[in-house]
Amino acid sequence: MAARLRSPLAVIFLTVFLDLLGFGMVIPILPLYARDLHATDSQIGNLMAIYSVMQLIFAPIWGRLSDRAGRRPVLLISILGSCGSQFGYALAPSFTWLLIARGFAGACGANITAAQAYIADVTDEKSRAAGMGILGTAFGLGFVFGPAVGGILSKTSPNLPFFVSGFLAVLNFVLAVFVLKEPRAAGQRSQARTLTWAGLLRTVSNPRLLSLMLLLFIVTFGFANLEATFSLYLDGRFGYRPEKAGYLFAYIGVLMVLVQGGLVRRMVPRVGERKLILFGTLTMAIGFLLQAYSFHLPLLLVAMGIIAIGNGFNTPSLSSLISRSAGGEHQGGVLGVSQAFGALARIVGPKVGVSLLIFGVGMPYFVGAGILAAAFLFALTAVKQPMAAAPAVVTSEPIA
């Protein structure tokens, strides 16, 4: 079975990696590019937030559409959307057009939801977390190499990274058209005819799913808090400029790749997702607390390493349990709702983290440690490990 599954997992890995490589190239330079278009700091904040706002709205819809129409067409649409948005960045004559392109990218950003559902379709429950870990590896590698490539290209021309990212999306689309196969036959897809918010509300009202999604929100909130404040923290406490911040972000990315690409696959069959979620949440809390007290580079590296390892165990394990708690024909819809929870956390986390900086550069991490410690206590009672093939906890009534 492993040999049969290796090919579709490799294809989805390549698809997500190319998308995240382009995404990673753009993120560090987009604020500076917006400033060249005479954007204010407030407008730049809106530019960075609108992607997650649009994902919050559209991720459940794309997920449910992938249940009905198939994973492949939704992935192809999202890749085309990425292509259009990248060229939109490069050719934007004003900040308004840049904001439109960014919002379009968020609306079409169905890659992760559809990719998670794709992996759920081609893995059994024992290998589900390992499959989600492969997706995390693609994420990590994209964010390790993307910012470095984008920074190098931006020295030649400020909009060159956007053109290169756009051509990567074109390449990704061509490869996907010829290589990416639909994992489910038409008869296996959901027969739901409508998309309703009431249906999605029924999905998240299930206690098991709601607990997992709330935990996903908290973990994502903590990491988004870190991402938004980290450069300011390094500047305020260590005097590090953006170049050194980039190296430290790459350090986090490498550790997450190692954990999600290797350790998760080996640990889940031995201990199960629940123990890895508990370990990951507690570890992140400890790492945040250490980072708040870090005044020297060695301790900072230890703290960052602990956070990266904890997050590396947590994210694929949570995604795996959320997938296993969904009915077979509801994978896309449920995972879409979970991505909406993550998008909301990426909207709220940076705003809270940055607002806490007025109390000191370590305050976002004190607060983050407290929230994650509370999440660990919540997970002790709320997260259950399925003993065998998990029965669908979503009712047979269509969720949308």
Same domain for 172 and 210? no
Q: What is the pTM of this model?
A: 0.73
Contact between 54 and 46 under an 8 Å Cβ cutoff? The reply is no
Same domain for 278 and 347? yes
Q: Is 345 among the domain residues? A: yes
Give residue 283's pLDDT: 95
- CATH number for the domain spanning 351: value is 1.20.1250.20
Q: 326-335, pLDDT tens digit by residue?
A: 655 566 667 7
Q: How large is the average pLDDT for residues 198-213?
A: 73
In whole angstroms, give the CA distance from residue 89 to residue 373. Answer: 40
Helices (H), 92-241: 95-107, 111-122, 128-154, 160-179, 197-204, 207-238
Give residue 4's pLDDT: 43
In whole angstroms, give the CA distance from residue 176 to residue 79. Answer: 9
Same domain for 250 and 309? yes
Same domain for 371 and 264? yes
Q: 156-182, pLDDT tens digit by residue?
A: 888 888 899 889 889 888 888 888 887
Q: How many domains does the chain have?
A: 2
Q: Is the pLDDT of residue 193 over 50?
A: no
CA angle 386, 391, 396 (to 5 degrees): 150
Q: 78-102, pLDDT tens digit by residue?
A: 888 888 998 999 899 999 999 999 9
Same domain for 162 and 268? no
Q: Is 135 among the domain residues? A: yes
- Least confident residue range of 17-31, 40-54, 175-189: 175-189
Other C-beta atoms closer than 10 Å to the C-beta of 119 total 31
In the chain, what percentage of residues exceed pLDDT 90?
A: 16
pLDDT band at 3 (very low <50, low <70, confident <90, very high): very low
In whole angstroms, give the CA distance from residue 77 to residue 62. Answer: 10
Same domain for 115 and 213? no
Q: Is 189 among the domain residues? A: no
Q: Is the pLDDT of residue 306 over 70?
A: yes
Host domain of residue 261: 202-385
Q: Is 394 among the domain residues? A: no
Contact between 26 and 161 under an 8 Å Cβ cutoff? The reply is yes
Q: 44-67, pLDDT tens digit by residue?
A: 778 878 888 888 888 777 777 777
Structure tokens at 286: 């400890």
Same domain for 173 and 263? no
Q: Is 171 among the domain residues? A: yes
Same domain for 211 and 168? no
Q: Is 258 among the domain residues? A: yes
Same domain for 364 and 236? yes
pLDDT band at 290 (very low <50, low <70, confident <90, very high): very high
Structure tokens at 34: 């917006």
Same domain for 160 and 207? no
Contact between 223 and 336 under an 8 Å Cβ cutoff? The reply is no
